[in-house]
Amino acid sequence: MKKSVVSKEYTNLQKEIVKLQEQWKQSLNPDRIKPNLDKAALNAGVPVAALTVIDFEITLFIQWIDEINKLIAKNNPELEGKLTKVSELLNEETAIRWIDEAFALNHIYFNRFAQENEIEEWIPQFLAETALRPYLQLTAEKVQVEIHQAIPGSGCPVCGEPVRLAQLEGEGKKVIHCPRCLAHWAEKRIACSHCGNDDHKTIQNITIEEDPTSQIQVCEKCHGYVKVIDTRQYISKPSSAILDLNTIHLDFIAQENGYKAVVDYNDSIR
């Protein structure tokens, strides 16, 4: 099996984007984000970000999208015309809509936007999501000390992203990392993040022959999976966003074997 299923160009572009997001996050005034840590809501699986008041600076959001466009165009000159068109379309009103729809992960809205404006389908949502993340990441930073666990099946307690990545730390403790907002929380070594199953008879680890630091933990009850990466031997630890991308081959293996990172509730109660 080939380990690198994503092109080097794509990985490099993603790395540059992650670097930009870090700079943008640093430039944000933390006072613009007011998280509401409602314990009852957290226990019910409502992500913190859904109750957080974020004072978005729309002109800055638009400026960030222009910066991503320039970066993509530099790497893919054939897209330049389309990306310029996006920049022209992105007025303040559209930008506010984009923030809302990116937050809600509304694929339908973005697909329609792409179709109506004859832009490649992936572009609008990718841009909106990329420029939204620094806000989610700053939200996560502000509440991280309060995040100790997640409700199985509810995804990331900060941003709601489905769980798919864990790292082994210390004595072998399993820590779930969210590649979207970078929040993290511990989980029992043998437990399914999707349905809460902790029966060692129905939780298996798929090991990867050529890659002793990677495993895929799969649950026979709900058919969910989580990638478990032992990063303790890594000389430099990549950000969770990069680690998620670098281990995308594991997602393919899991999915080829019938496992999913987003579990349908009907599957888990069967």
Could you list the residues that contact Zn ion (CB under 5 A)? 156, 158-159, 161, 178, 180-181, 183, 192, 194-195, 197, 219, 221-222, 224
Residue with tokens 């226990």: 43
Task: Tell the smallest beta-carbon distance from residue 261 to Zn ion (Å).
Answer: 11
> CB-wise, 11 or 204, nearer to Zn ion?
204
What's the order of all strands across the beta sheet hosting 184-187? 184-187, 173-177, 165-169, 225-230, 214-219, 203-207
Task: Tell the smallest beta-carbon distance from residue 178 to Zn ion (Å).
Answer: 3
CB atoms closer than 10 angstroms to residue 115: 10
> CB-wise, 53 or 235, nearer to Zn ion?
53
- List b or e across 78-93, with b for residues whose CB sees 16 or more CB atoms inside 10 angstroms: ebeebbeebeeebeee
> CB-wise, 124 or 179, nearer to Zn ion?
179
Task: Tell the smallest beta-carbon distance from residue 3 to Zn ion (Å).
Answer: 26
Task: Tell the smallest beta-carbon distance from residue 56 to Zn ion (Å).
Answer: 18
d(CA 211, CA 60): 42
> CB-wise, 49 or 90, nearer to Zn ion?
49
> CB-wise, 79 or 105, nearer to Zn ion?
105
Give the DSSP H or E segment for 94.
Answer: helix 92-103
Task: Tell the smallest beta-carbon distance from residue 202 to Zn ion (Å).
Answer: 8
